Amino acid sequence: MTNRGGIGLVAAAVALTVMLAACSSSAPTADPQARSTVPPDATEVARGTVAPTTARDNRLSSPRGADVARPSISGPVTGGVRGQPFNAMPHALAEQHGYIEEEYFISGQATAYSSSGSPDREGAWVATPRSTAPYTTRLLVRRPADASRFDGTVLIEWLNVSSGQDSDVEFAQAHDELMAHGTVWVGVSAQAVGIVGGAAMAMPGLTPTPLQQWDPERYAPLAHPGDDYSYDIFSQAGAALAHPAGIDPLAGAPRRALIAAGESQSAARMVTYVDAIHPVADLYDGFLIHSRGDGGAPLDATAAALPHPTQIRADLDVPVFQFETETDILGLPFVGARQPDTDRLRTWEVAGTSHLDRHLVDYLRDEASPANLPDAPASVPPTAGDPFEAACGPVNDGPQAAVLARAVDALRAWVVDGVRPVSAPLIEVRDGAIARDGHGIALGGVRTPPVDVPRASLRGDNPTASGSVCSLFGSTRTFDGPELSRLYADHTTYVEGVRRSAAAAVQAGFLLDTDAKAFVDQAERATP
């Protein structure tokens, strides 16, 4: 694989593992292409599934985030050796959904914080300003070319940097839902490693490529004072979208809500942001914390280690959605940080999924393909095989992306319309291990056709290959003919089972109609 492909995400997740080791919602609309959630009706109000609306009609006039410094904005950025941004989305994807991609630089004075007192495990942390420093970083903006398609919500992703370079993991996994709905996605280079490089996990086939190495000309203006300032930089990135000073990256389109998101290493940053910075900044309308471990990230690099486990603080004033794969439960280990759902917190644990998976790797390979890069010196070479598949065997090809699409849709409806997502059962853990059925499939958690009507054993770990890399990729063991024959009398029986399971997942609030139909279509095409 290339140095812009899935390997970078593997390194990111492995580095995170090393660091961490040291109510019923409304149904989707009838139009499956809309991929949206209808506003709450009287029945939902009576059931108590409707929370107070948290988003304003237009964030341009909202007082939220009033104390966050407004950075200066320049762009759209053009030129450079490459002639395009790092992490540029696949051209075919942009054309398919009618999206445009632009890059902006933001500059200002960022604040570093210290914790007042010792942070507790309950997450009720108090952050106090410690110092300020100048910075310049980038925003990568993907929005509908037709402004009338913009749904008013902006998902702002803290780009993952554990591999020594920026990685747009959340967009990679959830882009179909975001773009079909008309949501704007913004990636923020919040940490120094993504700009200038730094500590990274050595991985075969990967040469970490920070921005100023990838295109020294385009990214020469960027300057980062260090990760203690990353939290305020991320706040100011949101302020640049909520209250732009001068140039508006969203071209003046009305916006209703800003939702912050981060996966894996960036999820640890999100935990700390929610517990320590959100009470100070009061900027974001909701949070997606995807594949976190049992703790947060450092607020102050010189301070004592944070407690493990760390929970999400109880006095939330905006929705927080935690999305955990099967791998994360014991592999990171999130299990110690489990806490009950509240009217402001939801956690979904999804059976048959892994921290890294086939869907993610395929997207990042497309993003990194020579067809997506201009002819330029030192351009990325063609993909040459899949070294991790060779080392680990077939990696997890489970339903993470489909369930994440529903989670994003549910969080959006929660933030904008006040409709709380459904609560989900936990993945079963017995005697320190994931409880499994006779096929090796996890019990409990969010259920989908691939785990309830299986043709393969999908796991969040890898029982046949050693090493943390393979564990993060999970595994897929395809059933042979005799095993399938024992499970299903014929192909029609299998397809009908998938159809029932998909309908049940939609009814339960864990799948969108579009993805349920895709599971059925896939079953119909499967070899009898």
Residues 327, 321 contacting (CB under 8 angstroms): no
DSSP letter at 396? P
Give the H or E element holding residue 153.
Answer: strand 153-158
**Does position 28 have pLDDT exceeding 90, yes or no?**
no
- Give which of 172, 90, 171 is closest to 371, Cα–Cα: 90
Half-sphere exposure of 413 (CA within 13 A, CB side): 27
Q: Where are the alpha helices (DSSP H) in 251-325?
A: 265-272, 278-281
Question: Who wins on pLDDT, 64 or 376?
Answer: 64
Taking each helix axis from N to C terminus, what angle separates 513-525 and 491-508, rounded to the nearest 10 degrees? 170
- Among 14-18, 74-78, 310-314, 419-423, the least confident range: 14-18
Q: What's the confidence (pLDDT) of residue 9?
A: 41
Question: Who wins on pLDDT, 421 or 205?
Answer: 421
For residues 498-507, give the mean pLDDT. 98
**Does position 48 have pLDDT exceeding 50, yes or no?**
no
Cα 403 from Cα 197, distance rounded (Å): 33
Q: With 0-12 CB in 10 A as exposed, 13-18 as middle and 19+ as buried, what is 432?
A: exposed
Q: What is the tens place of the pLDDT at every residue in 80-113?
A: 999 999 999 999 999 999 999 999 999 999 999 9
**107 token code pair:** 């500059």
- Give which of 285, 9, 247 is closest to 155, Cα–Cα: 285
Cα 176 from Cα 192, distance rounded (Å): 29
Q: What's the confidence (pLDDT) of residue 203?
A: 52
- Give which of 354, 362, 331 is closest to 450, Cα–Cα: 354
The reported pTM is 0.90
Cα 224 from Cα 107, distance rounded (Å): 10
DSSP letter at 132? E
**Does position 8 have pLDDT exceeding 70, yes or no?**
no
Residues 115, 228 contacting (CB under 8 angstroms): no
Q: For residue 361, name the pLDDT band (cuts at 50, 70, 90).
A: confident
Q: For residue 4, name the pLDDT band (cuts at 50, 70, 90).
A: very low
Among all chains, which residue has been given the structure tokens 């179909």?
176
Q: What is the tens place of the pLDDT at every residue in 310-332?
A: 999 999 999 999 999 999 999 99
Question: Who wins on pLDDT, 425 or 469?
Answer: 425
Helix %, strand %, coil % for the chain, to 5?
A: 35, 20, 45
- Give which of 296, 306, 355, 364 is closest to 326, Cα–Cα: 355
For residues 451-469, give the mean pLDDT. 91
Residue 501 one-letter amino acid: S
Cα 511 from Cα 288, distance rounded (Å): 17
Q: With 0-12 CB in 10 A as exposed, 13-18 as middle and 19+ as buried, what is 466?
A: exposed
Q: What's the confidence (pLDDT) of residue 160?
A: 95
Q: Where on the phi/psi map is residue 297: left (φ > 0), alpha (ψ -120 to 50), or beta?
A: beta
**Does position 377 have pLDDT exceeding 50, yes or no?**
no
Q: What's the confidence (pLDDT) of residue 369?
A: 83
Q: What's the confidence (pLDDT) of residue 385?
A: 61
**Does position 39 have pLDDT exceeding 60, yes or no?**
no
Cis bond upstream, residue 333 (ω within 30): yes
Q: What's the confidence (pLDDT) of residue 163?
A: 82
Cα 43 from Cα 55, distance rounded (Å): 22
Cis bond upstream, residue 76 (ω within 30): yes
- Count CB neighbours of 369 within 10 A: 18
Q: Which residues contact 158 (CB under 8 A, 6 or more apart)?
A: 188, 190, 234, 260, 261, 262, 266, 269, 270
The average confidence (pLDDT) of the chain is 87
Q: With 0-12 CB in 10 A as exposed, 13-18 as middle and 19+ as buried, what is 66?
A: exposed
**Does position 306 have pLDDT exceeding 80, yes or no?**
yes
- Among 300-309, 406-415, 489-498, the least confident range: 300-309
- Give which of 138, 153, 151 is closest to 101, Cα–Cα: 138
Q: What's the confidence (pLDDT) of residue 206?
A: 63
Which percentage of the chain shows pLDDT scores above 90?
75
Residue 140 one-letter amino acid: L
Q: What's the confidence (pLDDT) of residue 201?
A: 62
**89 token code pair:** 């989305």
Cα 502 from Cα 516, distance rounded (Å): 5
Cα 162 from Cα 200, distance rounded (Å): 6
Q: What is the tens place of the pLDDT at every residue in 228-237?
A: 999 999 999 9
Q: What is the tens place of the pLDDT at every residue in 258-282?
A: 999 999 999 999 999 999 999 999 9
Sign of CA dihedral 70, 71, 72, 77: negative
Q: For residue 210, name the pLDDT band (cuts at 50, 70, 90).
A: very high
For residues 385-398, give the mean pLDDT. 83
Angle of CA points 94, 230, 337, to nearest 5°: 90
Largest CA distance in the chain: 68
Strands 456-459 and 475-478: antiparallel
Question: Who wins on pLDDT, 297 or 9?
Answer: 297
15-19, 297-301, 346-350, 382-386: which is most confident: 346-350
